A and B are shown apart, each in its own frame.
Chain A
């Protein structure tokens, strides 16, 4: 397709733990289109951040291995040298990090931090860079932009810092933005503002956004398409509205049912049994979610589950979704069973 921005094929990212490599991202294939917000949603340890850092080439090379291919504007990012990658990072491909408190250099003034990518990626003069930086600060909704330009990060609130991280990412007009939990550290009202800002900027510039988050609310606000990750794999991929209306995979359904807002008040929330397996002892064969829905018979799962398209653009891994039901009667047992 013409408007493919980024195509990930069979991405496998492994980390070295006690001398052995274990896969945190296990065979992910995805395409992000122009002018699209694709959300990756999942709980801690599902591999979503590892995926984001793999795209940006930010894993320490001695502790990790990234295989597969990530095609961006006709080049496989995984084949590039660091200096070739540096021609792309911060320019056409930018990233917004989770924690605005730590993602800015504590000893640099805000202005210099925003100007830095322009220094490496553009022909702008010092004066032009300054001009552009002030414009960017205005663009991300900072009223006192001239003052903020001169300030240090510790003088600013979390919301302001997140705006500055966005300004840094936008400095060289990227075509794709990777945002790793961009609002997790923020208050609800600030979150709403930042999400609104990101949407607004995205509409203006037609940038593609890969949004990594654990928060289904954020997904609902932002995403055009959603990929749900569990244990290193995508278990469900669908247009956002479709996913929120008809979640299919047992994990997606369970997630929705464990949200306080989707339950009746004071009712017991649905709690997923057991815990997310650590990547060292993850069962690699069969349906990885099966151990957490033991009431579904073993024959209900595929032997080698793959993503299958069940409606236009709606993919689900493993056919266990066809037999899935929530165990209404056994919740009493849930609590104690879940803890062991």
Chain B
């Protein structure tokens, strides 16, 4: 098992390398660069001056040199200088990463703790009213764009009812470290998390439901019933155990959805995380920041896929020995 984890981790290196090259090129393909972005709308800076700045920052070097420099610095924890914010990208990311991780973990946790019971109910009592309700919810959540739903949540619970704060990650008047601080952070998380997870559930619910309906028909379930195993235990120990692990394979995919969603959600709820920074940076052509962010999200997807693989391997002996 340990050798597998090590192998799998080593395999990530070429993946990450490829990712970084790809990102570097895509970023280069974007119209304009950091200099254009930084001085956009400032007519007092001439083209010659901009060219000079480009030369200074090595933006005219051949790509391989630029890439080499970038990756070397990145490995040293230096993701470059933000042109817009005039500070190192690493510093810029520091506080926001934490926020985004909180948001993502909470969203995933809520997603799964909603989706798994719903999928189980729908899978066990197929065609019951509860199942039909769940399936209907599933179709609706699948079809609803996240920005529409997030805006609606913001409008209803943030403005009309005023139950939850409508922006930010914490009230700046509260001192860090106190219990109130933590509580306030959580309070700020409620709306963004719900907007994300209520829509993210559909794939897990759908998958678990289908998987359970499939598993119900399997011979080994008949064996379990013939053993006199109580109905609840048949579902809990036999069917669920068999149905739930394919869902782990979707973790990597879920994370992708999460990252895409967080761009909208953080923007709409003015939540200071990576997603919002991403949009802002694209708007201002802040090349270094965008590259760093895409790299981080790409890495998150790769790590997620690896986690899926490892979970599957732990859970399924057939793969373990295969």
Binding site for B on A (CB under 8 A): 56-58, 82-83, 85-91, 94-95, 97, 99, 102-108, 116-117, 120-121, 152, 154-155, 165, 168
Contact = CB atoms under 8 A, between A and B. Distances in A.
Contacts of B218: 102
Contacts of B219: 97, 99, 102-103
Interface residues of B, number: 23
B220 A104 contact: yes
19 contacts: A85-B228, A86-B229, A89-B225, A90-B227, A90-B229, A94-B227, A97-B222, A104-B223, A105-B220, A106-B242, A107-B241, A107-B245, A107-B316, A107-B318, A108-B241, A116-B224, A121-B228, A152-B317, A152-B318
B48 interface: no
A154 B318 contact: yes
Interface of B: 218-220, 222-231, 233, 238, 241-242, 245, 315-318, 321
B131 to A, nearest CB: 13
B contact face: mostly helix, strand, loop, or mixed: helix
B231 to A, nearest CB: 6
Given A86-B231, A103-B219, A117-B229, 16 more contacts: A82-B231, A83-B231, A86-B230, A88-B228, A95-B223, A95-B226, A97-B222, A103-B223, A105-B242, A107-B317, A120-B227, A120-B230, A120-B233, A152-B317, A154-B321, A168-B223
B124 to A, nearest CB: 13
Contact of B238 (A99, A105, A152, A168): A105
A91 B227 CA distance: 7
A121 B226 CA distance: 12
Given A104-B220, A105-B242, A106-B242, A120 B228 contact: yes
Contact of B229 (A57, A116, A152): A116
A155 B242 contact: no
Contacts of A155: 321
A103 B238 CA distance: 12
Contacts of A58: 222, 225-226
A307 B127 CA distance: 42
A91 B317 contact: no
A121 B229 CA distance: 9
A102 B220 contact: yes
A105 B226 CA distance: 13
A95 B224 CA distance: 10
Contacts of A88: 228
Contacts of B225: 56-58, 89
Nearest to A119: B229
Contacts of A102: 218-220
A97 B224 CA distance: 11
Contacts of A94: 226-227
A89 B228 CA distance: 5
Given A97-B223, A104-B220, A107-B315, A117 B228 contact: yes
